[in-house]
Structure 1
């Protein structure tokens, strides 16, 4: 059983590395981060959990290989801060724990679902910025959906799932500790996201006020010139 899981994880890691290499070859004019984010985007689309236990195991193995790949990439290129590295490390430990114990796959898959459901939007935002299309209606929609999903799923639904896990006598104590740690990391991300959303909203409001003042002055000056 353990050998089979290790083989699945190694196959997953090899698959993600191969996909990353392929993206690098296909996008030679782009940066390494461009290819890595394409891999992350792909994982975010594919890693939706399933209530079927055998499929849950496959999802865990697939995702464990991805997180090992992405953590190694982030450390090698030093592209992320301590918070993201902590998130990846906790995710890896949580998946290994679920696979080793043969239980708590439901909780871990739920956390992965909540984490990855916002990931494609995060990657779309980065690609829009890189291609010069971020400051547009599309960029505003992506940002709004990302903030709404993150708040509703990772914070709102996540709080309910954490409560259910804490009051249930079934999960082991270290599983509960891991759940609290992951939720704390989500709140750290949430604070940064809300700060970003607030600053962007204020900036857009000031820009709108400035345009309104300019239009009012133009109408006023035009009216004066007619006399």
Structure 2
């Protein structure tokens, strides 16, 4: 039954990709794949949010407990997507080794949680924290493609992405990582997987911090140049008035 759920999920995401390819024929394959990624991000965040905050149990206190039906369903949906996306990335060679490692680690972690029948609650929590920034990341790419990135909307998307990543994936993620490591119910293999995912999160965080610093510096430099240009125009205007 579990294998069937994962296969159905994989077929569902592949069918959605083919539907986008048919609908947006003029667009490149990456456009359609990112639409699937955006759709998965929204769906899985809502699904895991329900699992973590409503259906339970609470991952910070029940790490390593037996999986519930909703946790299994959410993990199966996510696993089918990661199989699809990993296959697409390998086929089109669009991602680097870090992102491929993230996909492989995610697949391995979900498979372990499903096979062992435990640790579903913290795995769903990790997926929620990892995917909550994904729609923003895809929105940023689409804004670039549409020529709308260099705007207030693009700045807002970047700022919200950085804040969410730092607070949820690193801040809350650190607490979740500690709870998983100290839980007597969590197996050693899941703890090792947690170390790998947490390490990858910090690799991404360093890249994001560099990007934020460079963009902030470029924005400040541009503002300073515009401010000087405005002052020069005002000065020239004042001299012109005196001459008249």
Encode CA deviations 1:106-135: one digit per residue, 9 max, x unaligned.
Answer: 111011001110000000000000011111
TM-score by length of 1: 0.97
Encode CA deviations 1:47-69: one digit per residue, 9 max, x unaligned.
Answer: 13114321111110000000000
2:224 aligns to what? 209
Match of 1:147 among 128, 148, 162: 162
Match of 2:24 among 27, 50, 54: 27
Structure 2 unaligned residues grouped into runs of 5+: 56-67
1:6 aligns to what? 3
Distance 1:192 1:176 in 2: 25
What's the C-alpha RMSD, in Å, of the aligned pairs? 0.7
By how many angstroms is 1:225 displaced?
1.7
Structure 1 unaligned residues grouped into runs of 5+: none
Distance 1:114 1:34 in 2: 24
**Alignment map for 1:1-227 (pairs within 5 Å):** 4-48=1-45, 49=48, 50-51=51-52, 52=55, 53-227=68-242
Taking CA–CA contacts closer than 8 Å with sequence separation of 6 or more, which of the two structures ends up with the larger relative contact order?
2
Encode CA deviations 1:17-67: one digit per residue, 9 max, x unaligned.
Answer: 000000000000101000000000000011131143211111100000000
TM-score by length of 2: 0.91
Distance 2:27 2:213 in 1: 31
By how many angstroms is 1:85 displaced?
0.3
Aligned residues: 224
Distance 1:130 1:147 in 2: 20
